């Protein structure tokens, strides 16, 4: 199972929006509405930000939103804040008891 | 408060074995699916495997990269999840996280434990 494809980096100034893509295939992202997104600060454990494509867990700011079209999912962070600077990973169910993560995107707040 | 605490990491020689533990609290352990995820130094996240819950007979599934070498088990009496790692390779060097699965997402994670495979 190949990793989902994410851009290595993305950036924006405080208050701006940034969108990260996550491209898979019809066997994973395109085949199921089970895409999740994780935020990871250096030296810390990942934190769930979005589940089931667009659901935001309790406590996650509504600046974070998710969507999916075909084989590509996306995470948008609106109104960027300094604390949003982190690595972001997507993940998808890939059928037959299998899961796959994305390659990761480093978000920089300029 | 949900907590997951891993332990058991360390330095092991290629071909050796190691068992990681993850003690959980704050939720009914037997109700939950649990996963292991790893992250090689400076690299991305990699799904290792998962075990289902009591209702689905604690079945397991593994990534192709570890199948046949790693085994996930759990002890409900100790609220503990385990990862038995055999025939370790240098490419297994990583921080290993246990995580609780809620539907298709991992909603709580431990702090991770570092496994280094080197001679």
* Chosen from B52, B106, B107, B110 to mutate, greatest number of chain A CBs within 10 A: B106
Pairwise CA distance, residues B109 & A57, whole Å: 14
- List, in order, residues 6 or more apart from B39 with CB less than 8 Å away: B45, B46, B94, B95, B97, B112
Confidence (pLDDT) at B119:
95
A98: confidence class by pLDDT, cuts 50, 70, 90: confident
Q: Do A51 and B50 touch (CB under 8 A)?
A: no
Report the pLDDT averaged over residues A77-102.
94
Asked if B106 and A36 come within 8 Å (Cβ–Cβ), the reply is yes
Task: Give which of A18, A32, A24 is closest to A6, Cα–Cα.
Answer: A24
What is the structure's pLDDT at B104? 83
Q: Quick one: pLDDT band at residue A97, thresholds 50, 70, 90?
A: confident
- What mean pLDDT, rounded, does chain A reach? 96
pLDDT at position B101:
95
The pLDDT value given to residue A96: 75
DSSP B38-84: EE-TTS-EEEEEEE--GGGTT-EEE-TTTTTTEEEEEEGGGTEEEEE
List chain B pLDDT tens, one digit each, 119 residues: 999 999 999 999 999 999 999 999 999 999 999 999 999 999 999 999 999 999 999 999 999 999 999 999 999 999 999 999 999 999 999 999 999 999 889 999 999 999 999 99
Both tokens assigned to B103 = 């539907």
Per-residue pLDDT reduced to its tens digit, A53-70: 999 999 999 999 999 999
For position A93, what pLDDT does the model report? 94
Which of B44, B46, B59 to mutate to probe the A interface, most A CBs <10 Å?
Answer: B44
Q: Is B98 on the interface with A (CB under 8 A)?
A: no
Q: Which of A36, A92, A103 sits opposite B44 (nearest CB)?
A: A103
CB contact under 8 A, B63 and A98: yes
For A69, residues 6+ apart whose C-beta sits below 8 A from its C-beta are none
Q: How many cross-chain Cβ pairs, A to B, lie less than 8 Å apart? A: 64
Among the partner-chain residues B44, B102, B106, the one whose CB lies closest to the CB of A104 is: B44
% of residues, chain A, pLDDT over 90: 95
**CA B109 to CA B68: how far, in whole Å?**
25
Alpha-carbon torsion (B68, B77, B31, A57), positive or negative: negative
Task: Kindly tell me the burial class for residue B50, based on how many C-beta atoms sit within 10 Å of its own C-beta (0-12, 13-18, 19 or more).
Answer: buried
Assess whether pLDDT exceeds 90 at residue A1. no
Give residue-wise pLDDT tens across range A22-58.
999 999 999 999 999 999 999 999 999 999 999 999 9
For the cut 90, the answer to whether the pLDDT of residue A89 exceeds it is: yes
């Amino acid at each position: 199972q190949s990793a989902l494809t994410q851009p290595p980096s993305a950036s924006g100034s405080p208050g701006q929006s940034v969108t990260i893509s996550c491209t898979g295939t019809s066997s994973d992202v395109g085949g199921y509405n089970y895409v999740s997104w994780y935020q990871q600060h250096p030296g810390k454990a990942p934190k769930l930000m979005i589940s089931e494509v667009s659901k935001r867990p309790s406590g996650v700011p509504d600046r974070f939103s998710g969507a999916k079209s075909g084989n590509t999912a996306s995470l948008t962070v609106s109104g960027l804040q300094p604390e949003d600077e982190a690595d972001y990973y997507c993940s998808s169910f890939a059928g037959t008891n299998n899961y796959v993560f994305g390659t990761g995107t480093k978000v920089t707040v300029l | 408060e949900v907590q997951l605490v891993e332990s058991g990491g360390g330095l092991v020689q290629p071909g050796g074995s190691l068992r990681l533990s993850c003690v959980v609290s704050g939720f009914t352990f037997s109700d939950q699916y649990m996963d292991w995820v790893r992250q090689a130094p400076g690299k991305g996240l990699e799904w290792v495997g998962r075990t289902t819950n009591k209702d689905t007979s604690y079945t397991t599934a593994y990534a192709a990269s570890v199948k046949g070498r790693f085994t996930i088990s759990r002890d409900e009496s100790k609220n503990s999840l385990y990862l038995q790692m055999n025939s370790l390779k240098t490419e297994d060097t990583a921080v290993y996280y246990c995580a609780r699965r809620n539907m298709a997402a991992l909603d709580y994670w431990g702090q991770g434990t570092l496994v280094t495979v080197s001679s």
